[in-house]
Structure 1
Amino acid sequence: MENRFMKLMLPLVLAAMAGLASPVVAGDKDVTVWKSPTCGCCTGWAEYLQHNGYSVRQIDVDDLDAVKKAHGVPAAMESCHTARIGGYVVEGHVPVEAIDKLLKERPKVRGIASPGMPMGSPGMSGPKEENVIHTFGADGTRVYGRY
């Protein structure tokens, strides 16, 4: 009887332990990006995410302002594309380090943003500038990291 109990319980215990060791679930790697059909840097950012293990769906839209408004992106946080990842909004050229941090920490925010289009950020060419990432939500905006 004890041996049978162990055979039934061991897979459940191992599955539970695996879940604890992996705070980012598979669905968190699914990304939807809304962008202009003519924006090369947006496509570059989507490809950057794919190279870093994310599954990316790109949607070309003519009215990005409506997408940003629907996702609650503050005007001061806007960039050239808007994405949904793991239940969060990700605006602009945000590096995967910041996205992974967001998905691991799960702060109570609507999303994170890289306002404007910082040179040298993921998807952007040119010499690398500091990329300041902000959270945004009901409590306003705050600096979340510098990359």
Structure 2
Amino acid sequence: MKIRKTFLAAMLAMPVLAMAAAPVINVYKSATCGCCEAWVKHLRDNGFKVEAHNVANPSDTREKMGIPDRFGSCHTAVVDGYAIEGHVPAAEVKRLLATKPKAKGLAVPAMPLGSPGMEGARKDAYDVLLVLPDGSSKVYQHYN
């Protein structure tokens, strides 16, 4: 019986331990941007712990993280030393954190319709870019 109680206690603690181990995503955004709030909700709905920070110039974080302006969007997030620029799907953030490539982070430049936080009647094709240490990029995932 003692073994069962110990096992049960360990099993109940596992989700708590898993949640504690998950990195926090810090999102730097404008206080008035609705699509940024929708992207934060997308991350939370996909299991991420998110701390949203309303800042005067979200682009300051992009610059600090070394993401070139050509990859810019309306918000920048930071997780585990990586920058996440724009409306990157949670699945790609999870893959980035699992594979840990040598990169500055991920970017979805501009604000493509149909990307997380930009859902609506229209859905445009877009690329999630892996931003490499030298500032160049390559397609990490394509979405139709």
Give the TM-score range, shorter chain: 0.7 to 0.9
Distance, in Å, in 2 between the alignment partners of 1:101 and 1:25 is 17
**Pair 1:90 & 2:57 matched:** no
Q: Which runs of 5 or more residues in structure 2 are unaligned?
A: 1-17
Aligned residue for 2:123?
A: 128
**Pair 1:142 & 2:135 matched:** no
Cα deviation, residue 28, structure 1: 4.1
Question: Is the 8 Å Cα contact of residues 36 and 75 (structure 2) preserved in structure 1?
Answer: yes
Which amino acid in the other structure matches residue 137 of structure 1? L
Question: Is the 8 Å Cα contact of residues 27 and 86 (structure 1) preserved in structure 2?
Answer: no
Which amino acid in the other structure matches residue 142 of structure 1? K
**Pair 1:65 & 2:59 matched:** yes
1:104 to 80, 95, 98: 98
Aligned residue for 1:15?
A: none
The TM-score, its normalising length taken from structure 1, stands at 0.78
Determine helix, strand or coil for the equivalent of 2:115: coil
Q: What are the equivalent positions in structure 2 for 1:28-39 lying under 5 Å apart? A: 28-39=22-33
Q: Which has the larger radius of gyration?
A: 1
Cα deviation 1:40-94 (Å, max 9, x = unaligned)? 0000000111011001100001112222111111111111000012221100000
Q: Which runs of 5 or more residues in structure 1 are unaligned?
A: 1-23
2:37 to 34, 43, 63: 43
Distance, in Å, in 2 between the alignment partners of 1:133 and 1:73 is 14
Cα deviation, residue 29, structure 1: 3.8
Question: Is the 8 Å Cα contact of residues 118 and 129 (structure 1) preserved in structure 2?
Answer: yes
Question: Is the 8 Å Cα contact of residues 35 and 61 (structure 1) preserved in structure 2?
Answer: yes
Count of aligned pairs between the two proteins: 124
Identity rate, percent: 40
Question: Is the 8 Å Cα contact of residues 59 and 75 (structure 2) preserved in structure 1?
Answer: no
- Structure 1's consecutive aligned runs of 4 or more residues displaced over 2 angstroms after TM superposition are 24-29
